[in-house]
Amino acid sequence: MPLPHPFYPPATTLSSPYHPNDLDARTILALFSAGCTALLISALAIARTRRPSLSTQDQALALWFVLSAFIHIVLESYSFYNHARLPTNQDFLGQLWKEYALADSRYMTDDPLVFCIDGLTAITLGPLCLLLVYLILTASPYRHCIQLLVSTLQLYGDVLYYLTGLCSYYFMGISHTRPEGVYFWGYFIGANVPWVVVPAWCIYNSVKAMAGAIGQQTSYIQGKGDRNNSKKG
Amino acid sequence: MPLPHPFYPPATTLSSPYHPNDLDARTILALFSAGCTALLISALAIARTRRPSLSTQDQALALWFVLSAFIHIVLESYSFYNHARLPTNQDFLGQLWKEYALADSRYMTDDPLVFCIDGLTAITLGPLCLLLVYLILTASPYRHCIQLLVSTLQLYGDVLYYLTGLCSYYFMGISHTRPEGVYFWGYFIGANVPWVVVPAWCIYNSVKAMAGAIGQQTSYIQGKGDRNNSKKG
């Protein structure tokens, strides 16, 4: 008989004994939002100092990848490293994960998919996002390649995360989300949908930039060839 | 009490009643290899006719993406569409999947991860691989962008497929592979490892090509700027 807990389905066996949060949902979300805001303001100040000529669009993208790096490295590394004791942990991140898990109880169990996506994301995407911020600030020729790679991984990981959750519900009748709308629409959909929308836009942005450069290179080489031929003629 | 079947773990409940293959493993593998070889020879002939100047490396890559498209569109669409009756199906692809499932029984159950990866791969990567073959043959400026995108998705999908299988074994003690070495090393590792090695090389190849083009564009624009400034001066 599993211990009572607020996650769905109620019969789910958690990976460790459940300790209820002592912070309420509003406090957790307010503290988390305040932390993110402080991080983004500091990052904006640094970006403007290091490269004052950065366009507004690139400033926004640098901030997006700073926020992504923070979430991948801090939040996802935490859940990956602590996956066997998440229901018990009472530190701030433990309480944040317990609040989120009301929308997805797979974080409170030994679900191999969520564990593997989290681990892969934390180990590969976290550092790649930081590298990308550096590449944006230094206007590196590698910037759009890494932006395309990172955004493709973010988009695919997020779509797979959504799909596996929704498949469990529609094909196996197992909902990992509490029935109150705020958990499905606010947490599960709302908190993750930026990692579908922004990466999709970033992929478009990078494909345009790189195809433009390659097209220009091709016509430059062809133009050079034509000039050489007319000189010879 | 589940019906007896050859998949692991033996207590696994399959998604439909098990019908043993009437073709033996050698016949299935020989027919599949013959089909792939015929496809690749035809594709090579078409590629050489459509673009005789294609380098040997690009010929090899075009064949790789033809093979990938075939596997994504035919094999993975089949398992995605037939996921609820794979253990029963006796047509050739059904028997091929039952042979492969000796190395990964998740295809014979309602595993949401394998179902979602297969569906996503069939729907997105199959057509993208065909598009990529066309972009290689027409030397399109979009070729390397799509090659980077497709290869990143193939690499990530395959790594995630491996990791979730291995996590089940190492963390939960559930092996989906029969104990004979040929199934783990030959089928699970051997048949999938090309989708780690070749995409990793393709990513390197595309990043090099695109960063080169962007670097050249940047120095061309800077050079133009310098010439304009010296004219003004």
pLDDT value for B168:
83
The two tokens of residue A146 are: 């890494």
pTM check: above 0.95: no
Handedness of CA B125, B126, B130, B133 (dihedral sign): positive
What residues have CB less than 8 Å from B148, skipping those under 6 apart? A145, A148, A149, A152, B202, B203, B206, B207, B210
A218/B contact by beta carbon, under 8 A:
yes
Residue B171 with chain A: CB contacts under 8 Å? 110, 112, 115
d(CA A188, CA B186): 39
> What's the half-sphere exposure (Cβ side, CA atoms, 13 Å) at B18?
19
What is the b/e burial string over A167-186, where b = at least 16 CB atoms within 10 angstroms of the residue's CB?
bbeeeeeebbbbeeeebbee
Which of A104, A116, A151 is the best mutation test for B, with the most CBs of B within 10 A? A116
Q: Name the closest residue on chain A to residue B159, using Cα atoms.
A: A120
Substitution target in B128, B147, B148, B196 with the highest count of A β-carbons within 10 Å is B148
Can you tell me the distance from the alpha carbon of B231 to that of A144, in angstroms, rounded to the nearest whole number? 32
Q: Residues 6 or more apart from A140 whose CB is under 8 A from it? A: A134
Close Cβ partners of B23 (under 8 Å, ≥ 6 residues apart): B31, B92, B95
Gap between the terminal Cα atoms of chain B: 90
Query: Which residue, chain included where needed, has tokens 């035809």?
Result: B42
Q: Does B207 touch chain A (CB under 8 A)?
A: yes
Taking 60 as the threshold, does the pLDDT of residue A233 lie above it?
no
In whole angstroms, give the CA distance from residue B93 to residue B107: 13
Average pLDDT over residues B51-77: 94
Find the Cα–Cα–Cα–Cα dihedral A173, A175, A180, A181, rounded to 10°.
-90
Question: CA-to-CA distance for A116 and B116, rounded, in angstroms?
Answer: 15
ipTM exceeding cut-off 0.90 for this assembly: no
* B91 to chain A, closest Cα gap in Å: 25
Residues 6+ apart with CB under 8 A from B146: A207, B128, B131, B132, B135
Question: Of the candidates B119, B120, B218, which has its C-beta nearest A141's C-beta?
Answer: B218
Distance CA B164, CA A120 (A): 11
Asked if A149 lies within 8 A of B203 by C-beta distance, the reply is yes
CB A51 within 8 A of CB A122: no
- Binned at pLDDT 50, 70 and 90, residue A3 comes out as low
Nearest beta carbon to residue B213 from set A157, A172, A213: A213
Range B66-96 burial, b when 16+ CB lie within 10 A, else e: bbbbbbbbebbbbbbebbeebbbbeeebbbb
Residue B31 DSSP one-character state: H
pLDDT tens, A67-124? 999 999 999 999 999 988 999 999 999 999 999 999 999 999 878 888 888 888 899 9
**What CA–CA distances, in Å, run from A23 to A96, A97, B22, B83?**
9, 12, 61, 44
Question: What tens digit of pLDDT does each residue of B3-33 get?
Answer: 689 998 888 889 899 999 999 999 999 999 9
How far apart (Å, rounded) are the C-alpha atoms in residues B124 and B153?
10
CA dihedral A21, A27, A30, A36 (to 10 degrees): -40
pLDDT at B11: 87
- C-alpha torsion sign, points A167, A170, A172, A173: positive
- Looking at every residue in chain A, the average pLDDT score rounds to 89
The span from the CA of A155 to the CA of B41, in Å, is 35
Q: Is the CB of B116 less than 8 angstroms away from the CB of A211?
A: no
CA A11, CA A157: separation in Å to the nearest integer? Answer: 28
> CA-based Rg of chain B, rounded to a whole angstrom?
22
Question: Cβ(A82)–Cβ(A11) under 8 Å?
Answer: no
The span from the CA of B143 to the CA of B137, in Å, is: 9
3-class SS of residue B54: coil
Q: Assess whether pLDDT exceeds 60 at residue B2.
A: no
Residue in chain A nearest B170 by alpha carbon = A112
B172 touches chain A (CB under 8 A): yes
Yes or no, beta carbons of B214 and A210 under 8 Å apart: yes
Using the Cβ of B81 and the Cβ atoms of chain A, whether some distance falls under 8 Å is answered with no
Is the Cβ of A144 closer than 8 Å to some Cβ of chain B? yes
Spell out which residues of chain B touch residue A144, defining contact as CB-CB under 8 Å.
210, 214
Answer whether the bond into residue A179 is a cis peptide, omega within 30°: no
B82-139: pLDDT as tens digits: 988 999 999 999 999 999 999 999 999 978 888 888 888 899 999 999 999 999 999 9
Residues in chain B closer than 8 A to A210 (CB atoms): 144-145, 210, 213-214
Q: Give the count of beta carbons closer than 10 Å to the beta carbon of residue A52.
A: 7
Q: What is the predicted pLDDT for the residue at A213?
A: 82
State whether residue B174 is helix, strand or coil: coil
pLDDT of residue A229: 64
What is the share, in percent, of chain B residues with pLDDT greater than 70? 93
Q: In 3-state terms, what secondary structure has residue B83?
A: coil
Q: Which residue has tokens 């030397």?
A: B139
Contact B95, A146 (CB under 8 A): no
| CA separation for the pair B101, B178 (Å, rounded) | 9
Q: Determine the distance in angstroms separating the CA of B99 from the nearest CA of chain A, rounded to an integer.
A: 24
Mean pLDDT, to the nearest integer, of B220-230?
A: 67
- For B37, the token pair is 């070889």
Which of B152, B164, B210 has its CB closest to that of A116?
B164
